[in-house]
């Protein structure tokens, strides 16, 4: 039968949807993404990484899909998890493990890709425990059988059971391959990938004020390209450091850094069932008798107005290192968004309130209309204003602020200010601009509620760039000090990407 005109169009359209921004079947790294893959690194003392092939997903016949990241000696650890109601079995298991062990004496993490072990009932929990026990057994510690010491992470298709016979065989092989070289870490980052187009791995050195002659290291790997949105850090991530940290302070440090990094990214507005970001610290580089980094909670019952900052200089220094490090790691996830062609920074400034700014930024980042316009290189800034107008904190400011505070935004983060005098958004004092990545002048689209005569050719040039910033001022009174230098909490930054045809193609056949 001869094809009709409309049939030919559909055939040609399908042929044109080449996956130039998604992971090739052979897992080769696209040329445009190779610049994000490190060729070397400096890794924390006492941590080892190993991988092996289990074939968790039937179509994977050769690539490693099991990874172990472990400390040579039991270490302190913590993690933040998804807020999704249908928490995957590894999330439930690892959360309970950390609670039972009080963040102490943890061996490391075992990860599988290809199957999420999510919504798998009691059998899923048993499989997660089995993965941990199998990993523990590799260290010859039989006592851990009743009290596992290895965290478990899984990623992949939801609603399917793990092939535990394959995994049970593969975990000892991963343990046998443990190493501390850059190639070992890179293989680990590759093994946890699903639709990622490149392995996401960062490492760096730093010092602490009390002993600047000692070099510490921090390294982290993460995976994620779709189903990415705040409410923890929507993906998998493992961060290791050889700093000595008190177990009671691990979670506070990680929550602080997560709120400045993984909770500031969004690809598609979907929060996964498996999100887990773990922080492990073994103190292997710390000099003998070094005091662990610790946050003093003694002032919690004191009036906020009378509290003083009791954090040590070392604690504050590491807090900054961790926050910056995790932000850089999180940005790699956005750069690898499924089908994404652009990395977009959304910066929202507010005279009045950080939560208002954050809600507006997230609303812009999750707007399908904004994201498709960016993909089409269409300077349709009206969609940005529309997204601001229906942001949760804009519609119900007080309830949103209380909800955010309940989730851990503390005065330490810079948000402890009186909300009684928070001003609502005034459309006549709202401005929007595109800020080019090449350092050239910003392109003003809306100035204090009045539309500008936009140079469409200039707008297209900016939207042609891989990196773009959208700048929004919610309380623009015309002054140059809309955001005071010491009032950083009033500026919210969210990182996102565009929506392309390819995003639909990737997710339309994800299971197969």
DSSP 152: E
Contact indicator for 64, 51 with CB cutoff of 8 Å: yes
Query: To 5 degrees, how large is the angle CA 385–CA 438–CA 483?
Result: 50
For residue 263 the two structure tokens come to 């909770």
Residue 276 CA to residue 98 CA, distance in Å, equals: 13
Residue 208 CA to residue 229 CA, distance in Å, equals: 33
Residue 414 CA to residue 482 CA, distance in Å, equals: 17
CA dihedral (83, 67, 259, 291) positive or negative: positive
Residue 451 CA to residue 382 CA, distance in Å, equals: 10
Long-range contacts formed by 478-482: CB under 8 A, 24+ apart = 478/448, 482/349, 482/351
How large is the C-alpha radius of gyration of the chain? 24
Nearest to 266 by CA among 205, 345, 354: 345
Catalytic pick from 234, 241, 276, 345?
Answer: 234
Nearest to 77 by CA among 280, 295, 285, 322: 280
Burial of 430 (0-12, 13-18, 19+ CB in 10 A): buried
Nearest to 137 by CA among 150, 128, 125: 150
Q: Is 234 a catalytic residue?
A: yes
Active site residues: 234
């Amino acid at each position: 039968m001869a094809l009709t005109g409309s049939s030919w169009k559909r055939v040609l359209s399908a042929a044109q949807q080449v996956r130039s921004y998604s992971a090739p079947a052979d897992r080769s790294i696209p040329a445009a993404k190779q610049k994000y893959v490190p060729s070397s690194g400096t890794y924390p003392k006492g941590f080892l990484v190993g991988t092996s092939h289990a074939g968790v997903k039937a179509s994977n016949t050769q690539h490693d899909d099991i990874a172990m990241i472990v400390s040579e000696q039991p270490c302190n650890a913590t993690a933040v998890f998804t807020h999704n109601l249908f928490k995957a079995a590894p999330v439930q298991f690892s959360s309970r493990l950390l609670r039972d062990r009080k963040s102490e004496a943890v061996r490391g993490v075992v990860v599988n890709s290809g199957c999420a072990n999510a919504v798998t009932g009691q059998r899923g929990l048993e499989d997660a425990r089995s993965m941990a026990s199998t990993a523990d057994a590799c260290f010859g510690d039989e006592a851990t059988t009743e009290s596992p010491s290895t965290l478990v992470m899984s990623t992949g298709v939801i609603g399917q059971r793990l092939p535990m016979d394959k995994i049970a065989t593969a975990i000892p092989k991963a343990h046998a391959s443990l190493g501390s070289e850059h190639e070992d870490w890179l293989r680990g980052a590759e093994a946890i990938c699903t639709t990622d187009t490149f392995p996401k791995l960062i490492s760096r050195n730093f010092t602490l004020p009390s002993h600047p002659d000692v070099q510490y290291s921090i390294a982290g790997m993460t995976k994620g390209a779709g189903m990415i949105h705040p409410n923890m850090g929507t993906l998998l991530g493992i961060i290791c450091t050889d700093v000595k940290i008190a177990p009671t302070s691990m979670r506070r440090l990680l929550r602080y850094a997560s709120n400045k990094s993984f909770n500031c990214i969004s690809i598609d507005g979907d929060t996964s069932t498996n999100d887990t970001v773990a922080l492990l610290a073994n103190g292997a580089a710390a000099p003998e008798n070094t005091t662990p980094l610790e946050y003093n909670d003694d002032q919690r019952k004191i009036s906020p107005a009378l509290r003083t900052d009791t954090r040590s200089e070392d604690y504050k220094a590491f807090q900054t290192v961790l926050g910056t490090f995790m932000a850089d790691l999180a940005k790699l996830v956005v750069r690898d968004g499924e089908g994404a062609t652009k990395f977009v920074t959304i910066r929202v400034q507010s005279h009045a309130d950080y939560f208002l700014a954050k809600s507006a930024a997230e609303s812009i980042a999750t707007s399908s209309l904004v994201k498709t316009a960016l993909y089409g290189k269409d300077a349709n800034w009206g969609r940005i204003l529309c997204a601001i107008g229906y942001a949760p904190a804009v519609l119900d400011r007080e309830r949103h602020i209380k909800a955010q505070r309940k989730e851990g935004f503390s005065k330490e983060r810079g948000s402890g200010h009186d909300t009684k005098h928070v001003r609502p958004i005034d459309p006549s004092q709202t401005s929007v601009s595109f800020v080019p990545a090449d350092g050239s002048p910003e392109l003003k689209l809306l100035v204090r509620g009045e539309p500008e005569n936009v140079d469409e050719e200039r707008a297209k040039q900016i939207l042609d760039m891989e990196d773009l910033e959208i700048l929004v001022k919610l309380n623009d009174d015309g002054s140059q000090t809309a955001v005071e230098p010491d009032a950083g909490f009033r500026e919210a930054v969210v990182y996102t990407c565009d929506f392309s045809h390819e995003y639909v193609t990737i997710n339309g056949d994800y299971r197969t």
